[in-house]
Amino acid sequence: MRPEKEEILMRTSIEAIRPRGMNAAGLNELAAGLRRRVVGQSEAIEAIVPYVELFEAGLAPAGRPAGVFLLLGPTGTGKTRTVEALADALHGSERNVLRIDCGEFQLEHEVAKLIGAPPGYLGHRETQPMISQQKLNAVASERSGLSIVLLDEIEKAAPSMRRLLLGVLDKATLKLGDNTTVNFERSLIFMTSNLGAREMMSELHDRFGLASALPSQADAKVLRGISTGAVRRQFSPEFVNRVDAMLTYQPLDRAATERILDLQLEALERHIALRLGASAFQLDLTLGARNFLIERGTSAEYGARELKRAIHRHLIQPLARLVLDKAIDAGDVVDVGVGSGGAMLDFAPKSRQVPAA
Ligand SMILES: Nc1ncnc2c1ncn2[C@@H]1O[C@H](COP(=O)(O)OP(=O)(O)O)[C@@H](O)[C@H]1O
Ligand SMILES: [Mg+2]
């Protein structure tokens, strides 16, 4: 049966306001999902989610991006992870991000790569701008019309690039080399920077003697002061004024690194189940094995950045060898401990005990 004309009209007008729209339940799940995936940075998550809600409710202001965030703080503490996790939660894939590495735009003339060369310039036809309306739209999805843009290491951007960005942040438009414009009203823009991070680490070091000490609430405030101070020295007031929220990520404490290890081990088990299907196995790590990975994968300087590499090298690669050697049977639990020399992990596959009936 065909819907009545009036019904169609009504539906169309609602869709015009809330184009694809997530509902309230979906948005609650969004915040919870982000908190699960990004450990110990709830302040940042709580600041970001309302902007998604505003957009999904159809109430984001016109003529400017749906949200502009500057993510600050030490390396490896979850800044980029937050953006990936948001893309995953909103669109179902971490890849739904238009990512611009500002390190590639340190020289004045390099903005041409971003926006394409003006017509008539040598090589005009060959220059595909890195940003276009099409590319921006392509990172939205059926689930949400919000495009996520990541401008990584913004402090490296040349002044010419900063000037362009100012227009994006202020008016939500960017003029390309071919004179067309890109509209960012349906975008959340994340800029990351580790400005002030070095100063933050030495502040923590002075206070506690070791850089990995737990930051308290009061320290969080001090650290925020350091990073926002560094930003204000580096960026013009116009630029800073166009940022909706400056969010300072906290150094990871021991409990946070343990949670991150858990997340990565869970992801590894899912990967094993997915790839090996019926012949999948499970892992059981001793405390020693967990500490082994945390020691090698986390540091004050790089946060949890090296954890994936440590897991890859010390856990996944030896497991792959055991699989190739057919040393692990389907459904085994592999006990993982620290080898006798302390330089390697050691693996003991056990068939799972079937409880007696
Ligand atoms: N707070 C965190 N929660 C979950 N994973 C994290 C967190 N911080 C770091 N990681 C892990 O470390 C890796 C590097 O973190 P990333 O977000 O890229 O650091 P940065 O803050 O320098 O952008 C991530 O891919 C993730 O595996
Ligand atoms: Mg990063």
- Looking at residue 249, its pLDDT comes to 94
- Looking at residue 12, its pLDDT comes to 42
Which ligand does the CA of 86 lie closest to?
Answer: 1
**How many CA within 13 A on the CB side of residue 356?**
0
Residue whose CB lies within 8 A of the most ligand 1 atoms, among 43, 71, 81, for a mutation test? 81
Strand-pair partners of 284 = 335
Question: Measured between alpha carbons, how far is 300 from 347 in angstroms, rounded to an integer?
Answer: 29
pLDDT by residue for the chain (357 residues), tens digit each? 444 544 444 444 444 444 456 777 888 889 999 999 999 999 999 999 999 999 999 999 999 999 999 999 999 999 999 999 999 999 999 999 999 999 988 888 888 888 887 776 665 556 678 999 999 999 999 999 999 999 999 999 988 899 999 999 999 999 998 889 999 999 999 999 989 888 888 877 776 554 445 556 667 888 899 999 999 999 999 999 999 999 999 989 999 999 999 999 999 999 999 999 999 999 999 999 999 999 999 998 899 999 999 999 999 999 999 999 999 999 999 999 999 999 999 999 998 766 655
Q: Is the shortest distance between the CB of 38 and ligand 1 below 6 Å? A: yes
- Angle among Cα 311, 340, 345 to the nearest 5 degrees reads 10
In terms of Cα–Cα distance, which of 133, 213, 130, 216 is closest to 173? Answer: 133
CB 263 within 8 A of CB 39: yes
- Looking at residue 301, its pLDDT comes to 86
Q: Residue type for 299, please? A: S
Surface-to-core class of residue 184, CB atoms within 10 Å of its CB (0-12 exposed, 13-18 middle, 19+ buried) = buried
Q: Ligand 1: which atom is nearest the Cα of residue 77?
A: 8
For the chain, what's the residue count? 357
Strand-pair partners of 349 = 334
What Cα–Cα distance (Å) separates residue 119 from each residue in 107, 166, 174, 291?
Answer: 21, 23, 16, 58
Sheet containing 98-101: give its strands across. Answer: 98-101, 147-152, 187-192, 67-72, 245-248
* Domain chopping of the chain, boundaries: 5-251, 255-350
pLDDT in tens, 103-148: 988 888 888 888 887 776 665 556 678 999 999 999 999 999 999 9
Surface-to-core class of residue 34, CB atoms within 10 Å of its CB (0-12 exposed, 13-18 middle, 19+ buried) = buried
Beta strands in 3-50 (DSSP E): none
- Alpha helices (H) along 59-196: 79-91, 111-115, 133-138, 159-171
Encoding tokens for residue 140?
A: 């939205």
Q: Is the shortest distance between the CB of 304 and ligand 1 below 6 Å? A: yes
Q: Is the shortest distance between the CB of 230 and ligand 1 below 6 Å? A: no
Q: Ligand 1 centre and the CA of 10: distance in Å?
A: 45
Question: Measured between alpha carbons, how far is 342 from 356 in angstroms, rounded to an integer?
Answer: 37
Q: Is the shortest distance between the CB of 74 and ligand 1 below 6 Å? A: no
pLDDT in tens, 49-94: 999 999 999 999 999 999 999 999 999 999 999 999 999 999 999 9
CATH of domain 255-350: 1.10.8.60
Beta strands in the chain (DSSP E): 67-72, 98-101, 147-152, 173-175, 181-183, 187-192, 245-248, 282-285, 333-338, 345-350
CB 196 within 8 A of CB 71: no
By three-state DSSP, how is residue 149 classified? Answer: strand
In terms of Cα–Cα distance, which of 161, 149, 174, 154 is closest to 112? Answer: 161
Which secondary structure element, helix H or strand E, spans residue 269, and what is its range? helix 254-276
pTM of the model as a whole? 0.87
CATH of domain 5-251: 3.40.50.300
Q: Ligand 1 centre and the CA of 307: distance in Å?
A: 9
Return residues with CB closer than 5 A to ligand 2 (ion).
Answer: 79-80
Encoding tokens for residue 88?
A: 């995953």
In terms of Cα–Cα distance, which of 217, 226, 302, 267 is closest to 42? Answer: 217
Q: Is the shortest distance between the CB of 77 and ligand 1 below 6 Å? A: yes
How far is CA 68 from its chain centroid?
A: 15
Q: Write the DSSP symbol of residue 277.
A: G
- Looking at residue 21, its pLDDT comes to 61
In terms of Cα–Cα distance, which of 70, 239, 99, 97 is closest to 169? Answer: 239
CB 186 within 8 A of CB 66: yes
Q: Ligand 1 centre and the CA of 9: distance in Å?
A: 46
- Looking at residue 16, its pLDDT comes to 42
